[in-house]
Amino acid sequence: IAGITQAPTSQILAAGRRMTLRCTQDMRHNAMYWYRQDLGLGLRLIHYSNTAGTTGKGEVPDGYSVSRANTDDFPLTLASAVPSQTSVYFCASGVQEGNEQFFGPGTRLTVL
């Protein structure tokens, strides 16, 4: 692994289903982030974690949850997917909060 990996690359999901997007980084970064990118709205922060064991809410947290059990992994869960959650999801990390952020390749999610 080099940098940040995200899985799956893309997914089509029925509304109401539960889905977990995975994010793993091998840079031992303390801070990790989840963003969504939508046409016309740009990138918006969903949740963040400044260090393992802590998480915080971003601009658009409703309908999403995260956990940070260890330094490397930061999964994003949609408990009951809705069509408005159709988006491209990016995971990012940085040495610590406020530092340069590095992004993963993204997950394209379609909720029907």
Does 101 contact other proteins by CB under 8 A?
Answer: yes
Q: Which stretch binds other proteins (CB under 8 A): 20-28, 42-50, 60-68, 69-77?
A: 42-50
Residues 89, 82: Cα–Cα separation, whole Å? 15
Q: Which stretch binds other proteins (CB under 8 A): 19-27, 63-71, 77-85, 104-112?
A: 104-112
Among 45, 51, 63, 65, binds other proteins (CB under 8 A): 45
Nearest to residue 47, comparing CAs of 38, 37, 36, 39?
36
- In degrees, to the nearest 5, what angle opens at C-alpha 46 toward C-alphas 100 and 39? 90
Does 26 contact other proteins by CB under 8 A?
Answer: no
Q: What are phi and psi of 58, to 5 degrees?
A: -95, -150
Does 62 contact other proteins by CB under 8 A?
Answer: no
Q: How many residues bind other proteins (CB under 8 A)?
A: 24
